Chain A
Amino acid sequence: NAGVTQTPKFQVLKTGQSMTLQCAQDMNHNSMYWYRQDPGMGLRLIYYSASEGTTDKGEVPNGYNVSRLNKREFSLRLESAAPSQTSVYFCASRMVYSTYEQYFGPGTRLTVT
């Protein structure tokens, strides 16, 4: 099993460009998450999908959109990138019950110039 995979690993964008970060999991998990990690701030939740067909905003959703394409895949889109979106982005997945931990992908390092 590959676990949680993310593409791309690195990306450089110019201000105003758009892009989609891809995430897939092969563990048959119900819930999927997108986080951003910035120095000194831990991980902050952008959006999550508790189950296939549902998405909800997290702590920092502005400037992002998501699509839960199917049970395996959950994408994050930046429509018009801004320098403030320079960050490391992590996707995670888990089974739905509260005792189940999250499994993380390797991350995407995004720089917006």
Chain B
Amino acid sequence: AQSVTQLDSHVSVSEGTPVLLRCNYSSSYSPSLFWYVQHPNKGLQLLLKYTSAATLVKGINGFEAEFKKSETSFHLTKPSAHMSDAAEYFCVVTSNTGNQFYFGTGTSLTVIP
């Protein structure tokens, strides 16, 4: 069975410092993986996706993630946090059929001025 674990429910960083949001997945096949962002009282927006091509994936707004099969991880990073990055972030893995998406419980990012 597939599952996603986001290791931190809340992360606080100072503006201008690096961001690291951690995600581990469990899967018996090679999944597709996604990171979505949700700003307060808004819908979800795709940040980036991994689809078995390059293991280092670049997304919008300076975010990137690295797929590490040996560690079953897909951590999200950004070199320098901006106030507008404050939001909820979700790591997502597909089912083996590709029809269903499994969400992590989310990481709330706070950016301190």
CB < 8 Å neighbour of B104 from A42, A50, A98: A42
The interface residues of chain A lying within 8 Å CB-to-CB of B94 are 98
The interface residues of chain B lying within 8 Å CB-to-CB of A56 are 99
> How many residues of B are in contact with the other chain, CB < 8 A?
22
The interface residues of chain B lying within 8 Å CB-to-CB of A106 are 42-43
Interface majority SS on B: helix, strand, loop or mixed? loop
Nearest A residue (CB) for B45: A104
Residue pairs across A and B with CB atoms within 8 Å: the count is: 51
Interface residues of A in 99-113 (CB under 8 A from B): 99, 101-107
The interface residues of chain A lying within 8 Å CB-to-CB of B45 are 104
Which residues of B are in contact with A by a Cβ distance under 8 Å? 9, 32, 34, 36, 42-46, 49, 51, 90, 94, 97-101, 103-106
Which residues of A are in contact with B by a Cβ distance under 8 Å? 31, 33, 35, 40-45, 48, 50, 56, 58, 90, 92, 96-99, 101-107
Given A99-B49, A99-B51 in contact, is the A40-B101 Cβ separation under 8 Å?
Answer: no
Shortest B105–chain A CB gap in Å is 4
Q: How long is the Cα–Cα vector from A94 to B58 in the complex, in angstroms?
A: 21
The interface residues of chain B lying within 8 Å CB-to-CB of A96 are 98
Q: How long is the Cα–Cα vector from A41 to B101 in the complex, in angstroms?
A: 14
Cβ-defined contact, A101 with B46, below 8 A: yes
Q: How long is the Cα–Cα vector from A107 to B45 in the complex, in angstroms?
A: 12
Given A42-B106, A99-B49 in contact, is the A104-B101 Cβ separation under 8 Å?
Answer: no
The interface residues of chain A lying within 8 Å CB-to-CB of B36 are 104
